[in-house]
A = this chain, B = another copy of it.
Amino acid sequence: MEKPEHHIFVCASFRADGDAKGVCKKKGSVDLLPYIENEILDRGLNAQITSTGCMKACDHGPVMVIYPKGLWYGGVESEEIVDEILDALEDGEVADEYAL
């Protein structure tokens, strides 16, 4: 099976036993998913996006984690911040301002 070069996980505060709640969702993480999907396509990134349940970094939410690089980002609250993070990813760098 073909694997993505970058696997981007976005906390959507899913809970196994019911509706999604929690910091990341409340701060709009889920609303950013379509934007991130579109950016991946526009930039031609070999990347997959996956939404997740709690990643236990709620104090820093909304949280995004990019593997296999192991980049943890917090405060991902806007399209502009997503752009900064993806710009850095394309350049092989880290968006320090939001790195956890």
Contact = CB atoms under 8 A, between A and B. Distances in A.
Interface stretch (A8-16, A39-47, A75-83, A84-92): A8-16
Contacts of A52: 9, 14, 50-53
Interface string A63-83: 001011110100000000000
Interface string A1-19: 1010001010010101000
> How many copies of this chain sit in the oligomeric assembly?
2
Interface residues of A, number: 27
A68 B6 CA distance: 11
Contacts of A67: 7, 67-68, 70
A75 B9 CA distance: 22
Contact of A56 (B16, B48, B56, B100): B48
Interface of A: 1, 3, 7, 9, 12, 14, 16, 20, 30, 33, 48, 50-57, 60, 65, 67-70, 72, 100
